[in-house]
Amino acid sequence: MLKQSLFVIAGFLVNHAVADTLQREWGDYDVKLGTTPSRSMAAGLVQPGTSADNVHGGVDLTHDSGFYAGEWSPSMGLDAMHTMEIDSYVGYKHPFDNVMGYEVGVIHYSFPDLDGSDSHEVYAGLKVLGSRFGAAFSNSTAQRDSTLFADLGGLPLLHMDMSMKVTSHALTTPYAVDDGGEVRGFNDWSVQLSRSLMGVDLAFVYTDSSLARTECAAYSGQNPECGGAFTVRAQRSFF
């Protein structure tokens, strides 16, 4: 409890004293303290959770050898509307040269105020030339998820970047549906094409899953919807 209390205090101070990220060199270590997650893992597949409406913050420590560790809290749980969450991670990232490298690590999601809600995720990433590949396996009390991710970079004819993600979900307890059947597991996937046009970042995303009709009541995957959906996003940075 002492560790959790200290982390809550540190996060509270971060949110009130640091606008974004404070970075310092400490011998062979690079230390970052801030109000946004300082890294993503496994080629961008895994990243600590985010929250915009609650006190949040974290610290990240990276050694020159490639070893890193950190803690991030998307929610300090300082009010009744939010539950405290602490994401602790440790990993190793090594580039062979400018065009190739790999990464392995594990992240633990802790909910001190909720019994039996903790989970963990192991991950790995690989970079080859302009492409990135990631894999992750997570385990919680409700389900086990296995995810593969590929960012293939630019497509020469379309002049667009292409990325794909597919996840297999295995439920710990089968979900009974209205028609008398049950769902023991399911798959979902997404394909994204993106490019920058006149300062605007455009993304065309298609998502779908293996569930249909009444089975969608059991859906709790990576996509915003159970069935097939096509989404267009446009984002422009002014600063």
pLDDT, tens digit (0-9, with 9 covering 90-100), for 52-75: 556 677 889 999 999 999 998 887
- Which pLDDT score, from 0 to 100, does residue 239 have? 55
Burial 136-170 (b: 16+ CB within 10 A, else e): bebeeeebebebebbbeeeeeeeebbbbebebbbe
Residue ranges making up the domain that contains 238: 142-239
Residue that has been written with the tokens 């310092």 in this structure = 24
137 occurs within a structural domain: no
Structural domains in the chain (count) = 2
Q: How confident is the model at residue 15 (pLDDT cuts 50, 70, 90)?
A: very low
36 and 110 assigned to the same domain: yes
Mind listing the pLDDT tens digit for each residue in 23-44?
A: 788 888 899 888 778 888 998 8
Co-location of 150 and 108 in the same domain: no
> Residues 149-157: what's their mean pLDDT?
85
Whether 167 is covered by a domain: the verdict is yes
Could you tell me if 114 and 149 lie in one domain?
no
Find the mean pLDDT for residues 94-105.
88
What digits encode the pLDDT tens for the residues 173-231? 999 988 778 999 999 999 999 988 877 888 999 999 999 889 999 998 889 999 999 99
In a domain, 191, yes or no: yes
One domain for residues 94 and 180: no
Q: Are residues 6 and 110 in the same domain?
A: yes
Domain final residue, candidates 100, 125, 150: 125
Tokens matching residue 112: 């001190």
Domain final position from 125, 157, 179: 125
**pLDDT for residue 81:** 66
Report the distance separating Cα 67 and Cα 96, nearest Å. 15
Q: What is the pLDDT of residue 56?
A: 72
Pair 38, 66 in one domain: yes
- DSSP letter at 1? -
pLDDT of residue 52: 55
Biggest CA pair distance of the chain:
63
